[in-house]
Amino acid sequence: MKKRRRIHTLSLKEQIKKEPGLFAVYILLRAAVVLVMLAQIFNKDWQNVMLCIFTLILFTIPSFIERNWHIDIPNTLEVIILLFIFAAEILGEIRSFYVSVPGWDTALHTTTGFLSAAVGFSLVDIINRNENTNLYLSPVYVAIAAFCFSMTIGVIWEFFEFASDMFLGLDMQKDSVVHSIHSVLLNPSRINRPVSIENITTVTVNGIELGIGGYLDIGLIDTMKDLFVNMIGAIVFSIIGFFYVKGRGSGKFAKRFMPTLIKKHLPIDRSEES
């Protein structure tokens, strides 16, 4: 047991020397989260305290995957993942950047589409490069598969946001203010033709004027916008990945975002020699 701990300590020291930049990002982000958590404890905001704890747990996922699943995550991808988690949970949720900073949610969803396509690309590329499989997929097919993988991740996340809003009373699918509506339900003839109401400036609910300057759309516009920017990010990396596969892995830029399997040296079975 002690020997294993020594080996782990030595490997950790070697990793710090080899990747000081990545280690510095780890330390700075963790320290920032701990400071935010202490402030939330002082304010007795226990929901945000749990969110900080959840963020610290998320920070361990990349290293957990590398150690236990023998997957090498490029430093560039790992740093972006850590910054993404911090930007989404600490800045977005606790510091309310989703509300106070225009385009914050859009930027994060675009990044998600890009990174998900990179992960999807790496999964298919690993199969392509595996000598034990007879399957080979063309660069076009790999690009399409990566794009579909990214869009599937985006849709699943929107399902999660919708479920959170419906069952937990949250507002993850942010509302939008619109000034016109077109609805079949407003048609008194009950036919499938929408009735339009234009130039909406005031809306009253239960006798109380909302004072938002228009009609409240409950999440549909936000959801479609998120999926659209997710698609843009997925398309961008699918194009990059296409040329990466077509050039037989010569693209240095794509390699920075694509996890790869670590080749393990299997022990020799001495029983066969006897």
* Radius of gyration (C-alpha) of the chain in whole angstroms: 24
CB count in 10 Å sphere of residue 231: 18
Average pLDDT over residues 225-250: 90
Assign 13 a pLDDT band (cuts: 50, 70, 90): low
Task: Reply yes or no on whether the pLDDT at 158 is more than 60.
Answer: yes
CB count in 10 Å sphere of residue 217: 15
Q: Which amino acid is at 268?
A: I
Assign 131 a pLDDT band (cuts: 50, 70, 90): low
Rounded to whole angstroms, how far apart are CA atoms 126 and 42? 48
CB count in 10 Å sphere of residue 158: 20
Task: Reply yes or no on whether the pLDDT at 180 is more than 80.
Answer: yes
Q: Which amino acid is at 230?
A: N
Task: Reply yes or no on whether the pLDDT at 242 is more than 60.
Answer: yes
Task: Reply yes or no on whether the pLDDT at 12 is more than 80.
Answer: no
Identify which has the larger pLDDT, 170 or 192. 192
Helices marked H in the chain: 2-18, 20-42, 46-59, 61-69, 75-85, 97-100, 104-129, 139-168, 220-246, 252-255
CA–CA distances in Å: residue 39 to residues 42, 59, 236: 5, 20, 39
* Per-residue DSSP letter, 189: T
Average pLDDT over residues 22-45: 94
Kindly state the percentage of the chain with pLDDT values over 70.
86
Assign 136 a pLDDT band (cuts: 50, 70, 90): confident
Name the average pLDDT for the chain.
87
**Contact call for residues 186 and 192 (beta carbons, < 8 A):** no
Residue with tokens 């949970």: 89
Task: Reply yes or no on whether the pLDDT at 264 is more than 90.
Answer: no
**Contact call for residues 110 and 233 (beta carbons, < 8 A):** yes
